[in-house]
Amino acid sequence: MKKTSNEIFKEWTNSIPVGEYQNKIRLLAQYCGVSIIVVNFWKNGRTKIKPVYQKLINEFACKKIFKV
């Protein structure tokens, strides 16, 4: 079964080391121009991650997380 973008995002955020997590999520929110709440909604599947943000997340992570 194909994973949703939210599931892929959750896997990536869960791979961030505990000591770096809060700072990295804060920086990601700033990079995407959204609030930390929106990033948490993405992680928990409450809102879909639009393709424009998927591209920004790929750039931020310096790897291809999403196929955009």
> pLDDT for 32-62, tens place per residue?
999 999 999 999 999 999 999 999 999 999 9
Interhelix angle 51-61/18-32, nearest 10 degrees: 130
Write the CA distances from 46 to 18, 22, 58, 64, integer angstroms.
Answer: 23, 20, 20, 23
* Domain of residue 31, residue span: 5-61
Whether 2 has a pLDDT exceeding 90, the answer reads no
Q: What is the number of domains present in the chain? A: 1
Write the CA distances from 38 to 2, 29, 33, integer angstroms.
Answer: 23, 8, 10
Q: What is the pLDDT of residues 9-28, one digit of tens each?
A: 999 999 999 999 999 999 99
Domain-embedded: residue 9? yes
Domain-embedded: residue 39? yes
